[in-house]
Structure 1
């Protein structure tokens, strides 16, 4: 089981690397977010163990960027005692499990094994509207059989719309799923994202319509969803 170990404390990383290796895992260390991003781009891992306090980027930012680009590798986050806010944000961003420091090695190994097992047994869910298909595992969209190239914000918006296909989604709800909570952009910024999506869907059998007073809706041009 190949594991990326993202931990900037060298002593902690070395201890975990030795212990996991002795238990049959194949840990590979990364001491900062930049190294982790490079390793994730170059290799396939069964899981990621991630500390949040990295020297160049917060772990939750790294997690969010992973999920935005469609990386569904299971992530187990190491948190400080009582860091409830980090756990809540992590869950919202797609973390799979948490372990509070200090922890027992046996618990780390058990949680790691369990989340990899869940990941491997999880069935891919496909959602469809016309010829637009969303693969929830890879977080990729295809349109009429071809991959649809989207920015992270476009992908996030379209994922919300296709899960509610045929029903309107409120503007504020869509905004909250596309932009960070601390974003300084205005609510109207979501309209720019939708404008770009509409252009990419032009000529297909699906469209995004504005439902006055209710929000936005993805629908098939023939009325199907």
Structure 2
């Protein structure tokens, strides 16, 4: 026991006081560290979500752009094919071809001598009607032509069209080329799409250098 006359120690010199101070400091530091970590986590989560949203938006925009680019490419290809076909028609020299009617009549052409129908002379079938039409697996057109809608077919034309060219039954064309004798509409023509009603029909075979629509 302390003597009544012994002076008491100052509070800052007592060991348990310093223990309390040290523990308090550790608690404060721990709270500060934990709070900072939580804040960082809280701040990081929205940022990650925002970045994901931006990336998703970017991907959507990219997809839309790809689709738009594809449509533009398809349109450009179609226009290019049409332009090529038009350019080919405009550059073709037709001056050496004479009208077929200057030499033959549609009513009598099938009875003409074979030599006259295979002379190699260049003719043009002006404004002839596509009576029936077919297209084979090689992409060749098979056209059965008459002078007009009500006439019987007189010419059979088989050819590989220029890029972008399209032909339809019931329309008119101009064909430039040479005669190659009398032929008949055979099974190959029928398989290509020519109407079976013309099977066995005689027609002058026409070998074209150039064929264009004339509607």
- The verdict on a shared fold, with TM-score over 0.5 as the criterion, is no
Instruction: Report which structure shows greater RCO (CA 8 Å, sep ≥6).
Output: 2
Return the TM-score normalized by structure 2: 0.24
Return the index of the structure with the highest Cα Rg: 2
